[in-house]
Amino acid sequence: MALPRIVAVAPGSAAVRAGLCPGDEILSLGGQVPRDVIEWQLLADEADVEVELRRGGLERSVTVAKGAGEPLGAEVHSALFDQVRTCDNHCEFCFIHQLPPGMRPSLYQKDDDYRLSFLYGNFTTLTRFTEADLERVVSEGLSPLNVSIHATDPEVRAGMLRNRRGASSLRWLRALLDHGVAVHGQVVVCPDVNDGEVLADTLVGVLDEYPELSSLCVVPLGISRFSTEERLRPHTRAEAEAVVDLVHDWQGEFLRLLGRRVVHAADEYYLLADRQFPDAEVYEGFAMHEDGIGMARAFEAEFLGHRGEATGVRAGFFAWVDGAPAEGYRAARSGPSAGTPVRLRARPSAPVGVLTGTYGAQVLAPLVASLGRSDVRVIPVDNRFFGGNIGVSGLMVGGDVARVLAAEPPGHRYLLPDVCLSNGRFLDGTAPGDLPRAVEVLPTDGMALRRALSAGAGPFSPTSPHRRVAAFSGGASG
């Protein structure tokens, strides 16, 4: 078990007053050794915390004078100090199995850890969940959690997970709901595996067995050119239409019986089916926005100034967890904390190119066209790195962006959504500074794009929104 190591202290905080410093290894808080940042917060939440630490090889004791509930003000190196609970499923549709060799080692780590589900919104299958885990979730109020359901038929689910425990592990979902834990569910739909009648049966199962589920997102299979699974293939348009129709039908049933729609289809399905996105209110607060559910409508509302705050990528799913580092998909995207150079070399009035994935380009173009400006264009970035049906902006890599930018004229402003960066780097390890043209890295939300396009261009006055609306990010799912 690794010891928590302080990596930053907040100015003026209790940690600073007590003399805690980056690099300190924490041996105990209040006489206990925390297993993770959740326990760290519970221990640090007490008044006058006794801290045992190691600095420069020497151990010492420090009393942090603070009030109960006052933040300690120290950020630690990791969310988990013991071992990450790895995934022992062998899902054929798992995108980690579809990654090429040679990427950062952390990208190949599969977790099935309910703590990371709570902290960062990761999905867990519950196949490694235990009675002790349930007791901790309930006693410490670790809610909400995200659970991968995929199918409620035990045999289908076990087959998809390639794990016999997949047939019975949803009993933990029932137990979580029985104890009042909020749970968001996910179904990754694979053609000829869990679509059609199986998907309909899954929605019946959710209504019958798990009606307390907070929401259920239905997302399409993402398949890269590196997949070795012979039976996996992308959806056809007809299959996408069938999924959209089924979800709409079941939204009506859930609304009639439960008073809420519960199930939602990912934006990608509407693009594949060439269907209009549902109205914003249908998404009931955009609870699963970061999973590609309602991104387009939320972006439109932000772009047009109809929302008071952005729903874009957040650096931490539960920012109130004192000391929790932003990791993985929710790591810092750009700016000084991520080490991302934001290079503003072009004049503000220069022509603008908006870089986005191919899915985002399908819907961003009409919204940009509504501005009536000839100096702004959308630049789709075809994903040759992953290939397959991967078209979301969250999976754009520097090599593909560089290839596209090399064919673009110098002296223009190029806008890049930060959703494709993690700690200032693309998935292929390159950085914005490696690109052949200077780029402006923007937060992935409509407000940020609206402000960027307003720079040096006079009043911002888009016309009425088109039938299909913007998805600058296009999501981060595969």
Residue 354's closest CA among 383, 376, 382, 384? 376
The predicted structure's pLDDT at residue 199: 98
In the prediction, which pLDDT does 345 show?
53
Q: Name the token pair of 305.
A: 């100034």
Model pLDDT for residues 340-392, shown as the tens digit of each residue: 444 445 677 899 999 999 999 987 888 888 889 999 999 999 999 999 999 99
Compute the distance between CA of residue 337 and CA of residue 130 in angstroms, rounded to an integer.
37
pTM beyond 0.85, yes or no: yes
Q: How far apart are the first and last CA of the chain?
A: 33
Cross-strand partners of 111? 86
- Confidence at residue 1, expressed as pLDDT on a 0 to 100 scale: 74
| 59-78 exposure pattern, b = at least 16 Cβ within 10 A, e = fewer | eeebebebeeebbbbbbbbb
Q: How sure is the predictor about 473, in pLDDT bands with cuts at 50, 70 and 90?
A: very low
Q: Where do the domains of the chain lie?
A: 6-76, 95-275, 294-478
CA angle 110, 113, 117 (to 5 degrees): 105
| Domain 6-76: CATH class, spelled out | mainly beta
Mind listing the pLDDT tens digit for each residue in 68-95? 999 999 999 989 999 889 999 999 999 9
Radius of gyration over every alpha carbon of the chain, rounded to an integer in angstroms: 23
What pLDDT does residue 344 have?
A: 47
The pLDDT tens digits of the residues spanning 242-252 come to 999 999 999 99
Judging by DSSP bridges, how do beta strands 49-55 and 25-29 pair with one another?
antiparallel
- The 8-class DSSP code of residue 325 comes to P
> Measuring CA to CA, which residue among 322, 340, 343 is closest to residue 332?
340
Give per-residue pLDDT as tens, 116-175.
Answer: 999 888 999 999 999 999 999 999 999 999 999 999 999 999 999 999 999 999 999 999
